[in-house]
Chain A
Amino acid sequence: ETGVTQSPTHLIKTRGQQVTLRCSSQSGHNTVSWYQQALGQGPQFIFQYYREEENGRGNFPPRFSGLQFPNYSSELNVNALELDDSALYLCASSLGPGMNTEAFFGQGTRLTVV
């Protein structure tokens, strides 16, 4: 186990609703990245948070937003849910945002939008 925990593990939402996913980083890790893994695909980078600020973003619309708290835990918020948002959402924590730091992944949150 990596020490990165995500909640909830599963949830079902209706199209148009909003959802919040949570991630507790490994002890001492100040950087959290979020990834979306659609069925049959590799994970895709959503964004990264470092020192409570967004520190880089992938090709995702603004309705995907996040927060990082002083204890380095993080939230991913998705507004106006669409069917295509159904995926496994992975959180990864690391000791800083640099090139050489290793990312440790949580077990993921499986989101189903109906």
Chain B
Amino acid sequence: AQSVAQPEDQVNVAEGNPLTVKCTYSVSGNPYLFWYVQYPNRGLQFLLKYITGDNLVKGSYGFEAEFNKSQTSFHLKKPSALVSDSALYFCAVRVRVIGAGSYQLTFGKGTKLSVIP
């Protein structure tokens, strides 16, 4: 089965320090990978995606992610964390729906990021 895994339930980082939220994937073929953020009682907001090309993908709000094929990873990074970055972060991979011509997003369980002032 094609999937993503987020090994950390929670990440704590001090404001101003760099942050990393980890994601690994298990996909046959070329992966289409995404990061979304979810604030309390809100839907998902798109941050960035990797389709093909440059392994370093830049996204919204100063976030970036590095695609590493040999390590099957797609870690989310930001050079300097803000308190307002505190939220739930989801890694996702786009996979074909079995028996259909459509595609779905398969999500990890999420990582809660807390940025400490």
Interfacial residues, chain A to chain B (CB-CB below 8 A): 2, 4, 6, 31, 33, 35, 40-45, 48, 50, 55-58, 90, 92, 97-100, 102-108, 110
Contact = CB atoms under 8 A, between A and B. Distances in A.
A43 B44 CA distance: 10
Given A41-B109, A42-B108, A102-B49, A90 B101 contact: no
A104 B44 CA distance: 8
A55 B102 contact: yes
Contact of A106 (B43, B101, B102, B109): B43
A45 B105 contact: yes
Contacts of A33: 104-105
B32 to A, nearest CB: 6
A76 to B, nearest CB: 14
A43 B107 contact: yes
A50 B42 CA distance: 25
Interface residues of B, number: 27
A25 to B, nearest CB: 13
Given A99-B32, A105-B45, A107-B43, A45 B106 contact: yes
Given A41-B109, A42-B90, A42-B108, A98 B103 contact: yes
B94 interface: yes
Contacts of B42: 107-108
Given A43-B44, A104-B46, A97 B103 contact: yes
B43 A100 contact: no
A45 B104 contact: yes
B46 A102 contact: yes
